[in-house]
């Protein structure tokens, strides 16, 4: 879930960066926190163009993870008590929660792999669903050609995190075309500084990368921020990639390096400990404990 700092970033981008020459991509809105932040920013920006925010979500209810949010006073105030079962489509709830911004939002509900499209320039793109290669590639191929040099800002919410490995590899591979602006929470913020070559959209350049290339790029991602819990999570993505690629021995020594760094920095984030436990299980834990 997004932090208040991340929501403030989206608000400021919509208010101060958006010029009205293109659209805002809001990919992975869940219950609309990012959408609300963008729409509030746009209101203060004063640009009146309709349906600026292209809001993508599959919007399928997952009781275990989602039910608790229905008890949130803000949500209860707006919609009263509602009941969704696993797998129910909750588009109606999103429309209700974001009713006051209905002129601004173009809801694109469904699998983003099938839904993602635009003919317009992308001024801002917020991604909080690029958890697998298929989604990452679909968004890149559909939206990447519409990124504009010195204008488009990309916010990758899962950047300083242990998952979404493919999207981090792609973003780092694309470093010559982007400037890293900074991090907030687990989000990495990038500005497009050069048009991405069209051939990258014809044949995915990521496919050609070796495991060594990908490890190097992931380490580059982790190296973008100083040591912190988010830097640890990103370093654990490197271990995850090594495991995925069958490089257990390398995974073991990489994990030991991460644990050493944590000890040195006196960092003990409980969430990192849980991820480490899981990785150790995958790495045939007994040897490591
Ligand atoms: C981590 S949540 C987003 C959280 C949200 N940005 C927030 O902070 O409140 C990821 C979202 O991606 C959506 N999602 C997952 N797979 C999807 C897909 N294939 N197409 C579109 N949306 C998808 C989920 O429904 C979920 O709402």
| Mode of pairing for the β-strands spanning 178-184 and 187-192 | antiparallel
Pairwise CA distance, residues 136 & 274, whole Å: 26
pLDDT digits (tens, 9 = 90+) for 262-275: 999 999 999 999 99
Distance 288 CA to ligand 1 centre (A): 35
Is the predicted pLDDT of residue 285 greater than 70, yes or no?
no
Q: Higher-confidence residue: 75 or 122?
A: 122
State the closest ligand 1 atom to the C-alpha of 158, by its place in the atom list counted from 1.
1
Q: Tell me, what's the pLDDT at 89?
A: 96
Domain boundary among 156, 176, 206: 206
State the closest ligand 1 atom to the C-alpha of 30, by its place in the atom list counted from 1.
27
Residues 82, 187: one domain?
yes
For 156-182, b/e burial (b = at least 16 CB within 10 A) is: bbbbbbbbbbbbbbbbbbbeebbebee
Of 205, 206, 174, 204, the residue nearest 192 (C-alpha): 174
pTM above 0.85, yes or no: yes
Distance 128 CA to ligand 1 centre (A): 6
Pairwise CA distance, residues 267 & 77, whole Å: 39
Is the predicted pLDDT of residue 127 greater than 60, yes or no?
yes
What is the arrangement of strands in the sheet containing 187-192, beginning at the earlier edge strand?
105-109, 53-57, 23-27, 122-127, 153-156, 187-192, 178-184
Residues 187, 129: one domain?
yes
Q: How far apart are the first and last CA of the chain?
A: 31
Residues 228, 118: one domain?
no
pLDDT digits (tens, 9 = 90+) for 243-253: 999 999 999 99
Report which protein residue has its CA nearest ligand 1's atom 26.
30
Distance 69 CA to ligand 1 centre (A): 14
Pairwise CA distance, residues 288 & 281, whole Å: 9
Query: Any alpha helices (H) in 145-194, and if so which ranges?
Result: 165-173
Q: How would residue 286 be classed by pLDDT, with cut points 50, 70 and 90?
A: very low
Distance 73 CA to ligand 1 centre (A): 22
Residues 219, 178: one domain?
no
Q: Tell me, what's the pLDDT at 69?
A: 87
116 beta partners: none
Query: What's the token pair of residue 235?
Result: 């370093």
Q: Tell me, what's the pLDDT at 287?
A: 60
**Mean of the per-residue pLDDT values for the chain?**
95
The CATH number of the domain holding residue 169 is 3.40.50.150
Domain boundary among 206, 222, 250: 206
Residues 186, 283: one domain?
no
Is the predicted pLDDT of residue 289 greater than 80, yes or no?
no
Domain count, the chain: 2
Residues 189, 236: one domain?
no
Pocket of ligand 1 (CB under 6 A): 1-2, 28-31, 33-34, 56-58, 111-113, 128-129, 135
Residues 81, 177: one domain?
yes
| Mode of pairing for the β-strands spanning 23-27 and 153-156 | unpaired
Residues 149, 228: one domain?
no
Residues 45, 126: one domain?
yes
Residues 124, 143: one domain?
yes
Report which protein residue has its CA nearest ligand 1's atom 18.
111
Residues 140, 166: one domain?
yes
Is the predicted pLDDT of residue 76 greater than 90, yes or no?
no
Pairwise CA distance, residues 196 & 200, whole Å: 7
Structural domain of residue 43, as residue ranges? 4-206
Residues 65, 196: one domain?
yes
Query: What's the token pair of residue 5?
Result: 């700092």
Angle in degrees, 0-180, between the axes of helices 248-264 and 229-244, rounded to the nearest 10: 170
Distance 285 CA to ligand 1 centre (A): 32
């Amino acid at each position: 879930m997004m932090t208040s700092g991340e929501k403030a970033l989206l608000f400021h981008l919509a208010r101060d960066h958006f010029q009205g020459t293109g659209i805002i991509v809001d990919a992975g809105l869940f219950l609309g926190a990012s959408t609300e932040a963008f729409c509030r920013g746009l209101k203060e920006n004063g640009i009146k163009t309709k349906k600026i925010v292209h809001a993508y979500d599959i919007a399928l209810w997952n009781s275990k993870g989602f039910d608790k949010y229905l008890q949130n006073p803000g949500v209860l105030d707006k919609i009263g008590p509602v009941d969704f079962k696993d797998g129910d489509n909750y588009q109606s709830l999103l429309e209700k929660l974001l009713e006051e911004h209905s002129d601004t939002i173009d809801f694109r509900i469904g699998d983003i792999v099938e839904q993602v499209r635009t003919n317009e320039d992308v001024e801002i793109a917020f991604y909080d669903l690029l958890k697998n290669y298929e989604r990452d590639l679909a968004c890149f191929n559909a939206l990447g050609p519409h990124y504009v040099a010195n204008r488009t800002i990309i916010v990758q919410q899962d950047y300083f995190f242990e998952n979404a490995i493919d999207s981090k590899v792609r973003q780092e591979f694309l470093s010559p075309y982007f400037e890293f602006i900074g991090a907030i929470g687990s989000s990495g913020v990038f500005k497009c500084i050069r048009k991405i070559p069209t051939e990258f959209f014809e044949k995915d350049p990521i496919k050609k990368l070796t495991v060594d290339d990908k490890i190097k790029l992931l380490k580059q991602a982790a190296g973008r921020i100083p040591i912190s819990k988010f830097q640890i999570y990103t370093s654990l993505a490197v271990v995850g990639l090594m495991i995925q690629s069958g490089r257990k021995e390398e995974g073991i020594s990489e994990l030991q390096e991460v644990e050493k760094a944590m000890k040195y920095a006196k960092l003990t984030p409980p969430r990192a400990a849980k991820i480490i436990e899981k990785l150790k299980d995958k790495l045939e834990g007994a040897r490591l404990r």
